[in-house]
Amino acid sequence: MKIIILGDSYTFGWGVPIESTYPKVLEGLLKEKNYPIQVINAGIFGYNTQQEVLFFKKELLKLKPDLVIIGFFISNDTLPQGVIPMHPFAKNYESYCHSWFIEFIKSRINRFINRKIANDTGCRAKQGDFYPIKVKIANPCEIPDEEKFQDNFLVWKRCKEALCEIKQLSIKDNFGLYLIILPD
């Protein structure tokens, strides 16, 4: 049985040993019960639901999973992204992914691209935000959680569309689908 777990840095396991990530713990628990299983951790730092589903369609669907689990985290999945994450297979990723200059440039490019939809998302521009120093700049929105789930909130609408799309894929390609909500 093949399980793919989609998600952001919580799924990826940012800052914890690989053995402590919840996909690896799940795999260990299932193997203890002698299930023939493979768990693929497809968590990517900074991704939201739309990006996770796109990555799944482009790269992971060909692996023909039996089960897909989406690790839903409110801070990434219901807000517009402040940076444009790199493709996970980029060469030499580790050597420059944490470079403050690259992150700064990515945040500026993303802000420029999304400047016209800022009003729809509820975000407002902030002055003097320098991403490497003020980490909060990656998501400059200060929106109460209850507002993030309104039907007219653009990012939530796109998130629901992505979830519906992967649900349709699960029916078409015959794999199970679970959504788990990760606590903050």
What DSSP line would sit under 83-101, residue for residue? S-PPPTT-TTHHHHTT-HH
Report the share of the chain in percent with pLDDT over 70: 61
**Whole-number pLDDT of residue 2:** 97
End-to-end CA distance of the chain: 30
Mean pLDDT (whole number) for 109-119: 60
Stronger pLDDT, 157 or 133, i.e. the higher one: 157
**Could you give the 3-state DSSP secondary structure of residue 67?**
strand
* Amino acid 27: pLDDT: 96
The whole-number average pLDDT for the span 44-64 is 92
Query: Which residues fall within 8 angstroms of residue 28, CB to CB, at 6 or more apart?
Result: 19
pLDDT for residue 157:
84
What confidence score (pLDDT) does residue 148 get? 67
Give the pLDDT confidence score for residue 175 in this predicted structure. Answer: 97
pLDDT surpassing 80 at residue 52 = yes
In this structure, which long-range contacts are made by residues 24-31, counting pairs with CB atoms below 8 Å and at least 24 apart in sequence? 27/3
Question: Nearest Cα to 69, choosing from 2, 160, 4?
Answer: 4
Tell me: pLDDT of 21 over 60: yes
DSSP 3-state assignment of 61? helix
pLDDT in tens, 116-153: 554 444 444 443 333 333 333 344 455 666 666 777 77
Which class for 73: exposed (0-12), middle (13-18), buried (19 or more C-beta within 10 A)?
buried
pLDDT digits (tens, 9 = 90+) for 77-98: 766 655 444 445 444 444 444 4
